[in-house]
Amino acid sequence: MSAPLDRQKAFAGTQAVSPAHHIDKARLSDYLKGHIEGFDGPLQIEQFKGGQSNPTYKLTTPGASYVLRRKPPGKLLASAHAVDREFRIMSALADVDFPVPRPLHLCTDDAVIGSMFFVMTYVPGRVFWYPWAPGLDGRDRAALFNSLNETIARLHNFDPAALGLGDYGRPQGYVARQIRRWSEQYRASETRNIPAMERLIEWLPGACPADQPAAIIHGDFRLDNCIIDLHEPRVVAVLDWELSTLGDPVADFTYHLMQWHMPASQSGAGVGTLKGHEKEPGLPALADYVEAYCCRTGRAGIENLDAYLAYNFFRIAAILQGIAGRVRDGTAANAHAAAMASQVEPLAETGWGFAMRAGA
């Protein structure tokens, strides 16, 4: 068996732009000169290694660096890759000093680079591709997890209407709709039969928790979707807002909690896990982390935790199955996408385990 993937080496930083995601540099540079104040070439383009869904690029000029995020070219699942929605929510959050890169321009003209894209500021910092943040001492690790907890709680405490996002989603029946949506997306990209997914698709619609008051939710909040300050253990930017909407904040938070239960990947691809690292200095116990979030959001606790975790493991399994579908269709943005897709079955089996704890 080959050695497990070094996630930090494989996913951190940039690389040469892949042929499948080529951008006409001269055409893009000419376009941005007319649409972003102060933009001037010559322009260099690199592609971030870690992008799975929407290809993401670092643009470097003599005066500044930027980040470009685009829809991938080729066959796409319906409603996926909504970079225009990312642009909208990040713009609203930047206006209230929530930690996001500031969006600068949205281009809806596919003719410029071949698909819709937006450009945002480049935020320097660290990205930890292992969820226990190796290299930190206990004090800094504790502070980092406190910052993660504070960040997602702050997001969920916003009044969407006050940020101009009252129509950003349909919060009623959020979890039920998500179950339908990801069941459909899973079917659209299915490559083989996975019994645990079949059982979850059948069980979840009758087991979803009651609606919570609507909040802005990220949809994929985890450490490797955050930029951490270069010198301090705090979140300076939250990335990857493709799955954001209005909905159940507890569903969003319990998605974040999956790191404590994530099945380990033999290949090292997939999604990192805290299993086996529970004794890392400064890593909070799950119960304490939940209590801190509940204190920050005014909750007495989280009911139906097992049902929420079953739903979330089903959801991430369906998301990774979408990556498998893009491998099949030749539109996957990452060289390790096939290895990530191998995690679908263990994720589904973990989800079914929580479903049984919830009474399935």
Structure confidence at residue 192 (pLDDT): 85
Place of tokens 């699942």: 77
Helix (H) / strand (E) element for 309: namely helix 305-329
Same domain, 183 and 221: yes
Same domain, 78 and 204: no
Same domain, 208 and 163: yes
CATH number for the domain including 262? 3.90.1200.10
Same domain, 285 and 336: yes
Same domain, 42 and 174: no
Structure confidence at residue 1 (pLDDT): 45
CATH number for the domain including 24? 3.30.200.20
In a domain, 181, yes or no: yes
Sign (positive or negative) of CA dihedral 241, 242, 243, 245:
positive
Q: Which residues lie below 8 Å from residue 351, measured CB to CB, with a gap of 6+?
A: 196, 200, 309, 310, 311, 312, 313, 314, 317
Residue 276 CB-half CA count within 13 A: 8
Question: Running along the chain, 360 residues long, what does each successive block of 10 average in pLDDT?
Answer: 68 84 94 96 91 84 96 62 91 98 96 94 95 96 98 98 95 91 90 93 92 92 96 97 94 96 72 88 96 97 94 93 72 61 90 95
Question: Contact 200/351 with Cβ under 8 angstroms?
Answer: yes
What is the count of structural domains for the chain? 2
In a domain, 170, yes or no: yes
Strands 65-70 and 117-121: antiparallel
Structure confidence at residue 191 (pLDDT): 82
Same domain, 212 and 277: yes
Please give the distance of CA 62 from its chain centroid, rounded to a whole number. 31
Strands 215-217 and 235-238: unpaired
In a domain, 1, yes or no: no
The closest of 16, 10, 20 to 330, measured between CA atoms, is: 20
The Cα–Cα gap between 318 and 68 comes to: 26
The residue from 53, 86, 121 where one domain ends is 121
In a domain, 130, yes or no: no
Same domain, 116 and 151: no
In a domain, 131, yes or no: no
Same domain, 201 and 315: yes
The Cα–Cα gap between 79 and 165 comes to: 19
Same domain, 20 and 90: yes
The residue from 63, 96, 121 where one domain ends is 121
Same domain, 183 and 284: yes
Same domain, 75 and 203: no
Same domain, 142 and 65: no
The Cα–Cα gap between 312 and 178 comes to: 10
Identify residue 156 by its one-letter amino acid code: H
In a domain, 128, yes or no: no
What is the pTM for the complete model shown? Answer: 0.90
Question: Contact 93/39 with Cβ under 8 angstroms?
Answer: no
In a domain, 260, yes or no: yes
DSSP string across 196-236:
HHHHHHHHGGGTPPPPPPPEEE-SS--GGGEEE-SSSSSEE
- Under DSSP, the state recorded for 126 is B
The residue from 88, 121, 154 where one domain ends is 121
Identify residue 205 by its one-letter amino acid code: P
Structure confidence at residue 172 (pLDDT): 87
In a domain, 180, yes or no: yes
Domain with 253, as residue range(s), is: 138-357
Structure confidence at residue 189 (pLDDT): 85
